[in-house]
Structure 1
Amino acid sequence: MEPTGELFTVFGLPAHPLVVHAVVVLLPLAAVAAIAAALVPRWRQRYSAPLLGVTLLGVLAVPVAAKTGEQLEHRISQRFENPLITEHADMGDTLLPFALGFGVAVVLLLVAGRLADRERAASAEQAGRDAGAGVPKTWRRVSVVVAVLVIATGAAATAQVVRIGHSGSTAVYDGVGN
């Protein structure tokens, strides 16, 4: 990206429509992957690093998309007034808390899941030695609660991405095109 006045561009085009695609693709992809990892512990164990990477990239793309969107909104508002763009910008400002909440939930899932795996292994080992003593199921219970949190925050973040994206598309096609 290269700054052109106050507007960041990529190959002469405003960066926002390009950067926003990272959010639109990565956050829902991370949500689907996180929900799958929450429901299937074997997948969480195997794909935790890619899940964390996609989630972090998606979350980090949100403020970049917001910044480039603000620049584009400022540039467009100098030429003409479009209340749909203002509405889209206002909605866009709401995505970061959703994305951050989802990102934190994914990290919690990976940590609680790892601890639950260790607890499960210790319980299996203990059962082989002494059937009378058991290992507490604390982290296994925590991981279930966190899995529900991941499902809720992933669905909420994805729904918000769709709402914001729809408002942006509407602003462009109904507001600018007419």
Structure 2
Amino acid sequence: MPEFIGGLPVHPLLVHFTVVLIALSVAGAVLSAVWPAVRRRFGWLVFAGSALGTVLVPFTTKSGENLAGRLPGSPQINEHERLADLMIWWALGLTVAVGVLMVVHTMAERTVTSKVAVGAAGAEEEVPQEAGRAPALVAIVLALITVGVAVGAGIHVYRVGDAGARAVWEGVENLPAQNGG
């Protein structure tokens, strides 16, 4: 993987793409978990976004390690790296939680057709029947797990980003006044 694209380090480019995917996946996971209409319409899209974000995390952390190797060490960079190394577990957990939620949801929504004999001649007719729905307790537990992992992933991606921003910007002179003053 190249370390620079057009003179810019790859790490900030990958970071922004990864963070946007994970943040959207977090929001989508929470909405999918608590709102069945969103789950039916966008659940698999949320899963795909989360899976892509998970795949990007190792590339993002590797590009960060490459960039850190070019810089003098600092406690802020070390903290950012420590937190970033944990991001894969949160992203993977989010992907698994959304995936399980969607598999159970899809199985519960599936209808089965069965052939039923009708009439004296024994003609068969296909009759749609609902598949066995997942018990309400299973759906509630999966929704709670999904929301919990999503919130944890959202908090962790914020912590990693905050530590990275502090590593870059703390101590930089001539910053504009904060909060209007």
Query: Quick check: TM above 0.5?
Result: yes
Q: Of the candidates 67, 90, 105, which is equivalent to residue 97 of structure 2? A: 105
Q: Please state whether the residue corresponding to 1:94 is helix, strand or coil.
A: helix
Distance 2:137 2:108 in 1: 8
What amino acid is aligned across from residue 113 of structure 1 in structure 2? H
- 1:108 alignment partner, SS class: helix
Structure 1: stretches of 5+ with no match in the other structure: 123-134
TM-score, normalization by structure 1: 0.80
2:23 paired with 1:51: no
Conservation of the 8 A alpha-carbon contact between 1:116 and 1:143: no
Report the AA paired with residue 173 of structure 1.
Answer: W
Q: 2:55 aligns with which of 57, 60, 68?
A: 60
Amino acid at match of 1:29: L
* Structure 2: gaps spanning 5 or more residues: 113-130, 174-181
Alignment RMSD: 2.1
What is the count of residue pairs matched by the alignment? 156
Please say if residues 30 and 54 of structure 1, whose CA atoms lie closer than 8 Å, have aligned partners that are also in contact.
Answer: yes
- The residue that corresponds to 1:74 in the other structure is 69
Indicate the SS of the match to 2:170: helix
| Greater per-residue strand proportion | 2
**Is it true that 1:23 corresponds to 2:13 in the alignment?**
no
- Asked if the contact 1:113/1:139 (under 8 Å) is kept, the reply is no
Distance 1:117 1:145 in 2: 18
CA contact (8 A) 2:104 2:134 kept: no
Identity %, equivalent residues:
34
Describe how 1:155-174 pairs up with structure 2 within 5 A. 155-174=151-170
Residue of structure 1 equivalent to 2:143: 147
Q: Counterpart amino acid of 1:49?
A: W
Hey, which of these two has a bigger chunk of helix by percent? 1
Q: Distance in 1 between matches of 2:92 and 2:141?
A: 18
Q: Is the 8 A contact 1:116 1:140 kept in 2?
A: no
Q: Considering only CA atoms, is the larger Rg found in Structure 1 or Structure 2?
A: 2
**What is the DSSP-based 3-state SS (H/G/I as helix, E as strand, rest coil) of the residue aligned with 1:93?**
helix
